[in-house]
Amino acid sequence: MEFGLREFVELRKLIYAKSGIHLGDEKVYFLKRRVEKRMEKLGIEDPEEYLSYLRFFDRQGRELQELIEEVAVNETYFFREFPQLQAFAEHCLPDVLERKKKGLLNTRLRLLSAGCSTGEEAYTLAIILREMVEGVDSLLAKIVAVDIDRKALDRALLGIYDTRSIRDVPRVYLERYFDNLGNGTNRVKNTLRDLVTFKQVNLADRDEVLSLGISSFDFIFCRNVLIYFSDEIRRKVVENFYLMLQPGGYIFLGHSESLSRISTAFALRRMGGYLVYQKPENADASSPLREAGVQ
């Protein structure tokens, strides 16, 4: 039996229910190729048989997780979308640090890299903290990096990257924060590893996400992730982010993403010529979301 529209729709439902990832109708061929790869791995020739396997025999959800990891897009590299990172480093970060000095926020600096993929973003943030915050260590700052893809997280923990991933890293940072392994590969040093913790988290699962901490993050980076979710899941993810941010905390999205149609709870601010979203400083983190203005 050929992989047709019915199989696509049924598999799309399973993927969405598990991960929140929504595949549009134009993704039929995209999903077909990935399903065929998994079927070959399992020795299954019929798409209907593969569907039955997922429904009745994959009781631990391991095969569905494997399929989701095939579907997840892991396009990333160090210092991606540099102007946004510059606004974070030179304007948003000093703003938060100044309020911490005044005792207006929790002392420890916490950042969330949501949809961290293979770790390039998380380690980029670690480099920025090392460069911008004097004397920073794991007691003063922590980057929590999460993703649903276990294989991507394994690569992130390994911390070894090819020339493509590090193509935008300034030479001085390459020498300071990476060990050259030869053959075009470099490994991040412990000075970066010490600041980052990787965890497998499904952003569509409210309990998993909120277990990371309520009102405990100063910055949330969720760049080029929301575009893969349905409108419903986007709203839920953003609601969770609102709860997780400290008052005055910042959220960073990808250049093609916007909160304007998702939530009115965040203030849009121009920082160093770049537009960023900020949770109001006078926000009551314990208030119900409807009172906070989340739509």
Question: 246-258 as b/e, with b when 16 or more CB fall inside 10 Å?
Answer: bbbbbbbbbeeee
Report the chain's terminal Cα–Cα distance, integer Å. Answer: 44
Whether 158 and 123 have beta carbons less than 8 Å apart is answered as no
Q: Which long-range contacts (CB under 8 A, 24 or more apart) does 27-33 make?
A: 30/71, 31/71, 32/3, 32/8
Structure token digits, residue 241? 């982010």
Q: Mark residue 19 as left, alpha or beta (left: phi above 0; alpha: psi -120 to 50; beta: remaining).
A: alpha
Backbone region of residue 2 per phi and psi (left: phi > 0; alpha: psi in -120 to 50; beta: other values):
beta
Categorise residue 208: left if φ over 0, alpha if ψ from -120 to 50, beta otherwise. Answer: alpha
- The sign of the CA dihedral 96, 102, 104, 106 is positive
Is 147 a known active-site residue? yes
- Contact at 8 Å (CB) between 88 and 252? yes
Largest CA distance in the chain: 67
Q: Which of 130, 147, 149, 218 is catalytic?
A: 147
290 part of the active site? no
Catalytic residue among 34, 80, 130, 223: 34
Apex CA 200: angle with CA 265 and CA 133, to 5°?
65
Cβ contacts of 287 within 8 Å, gap of 6 or more: none
Active site residues: 34, 147
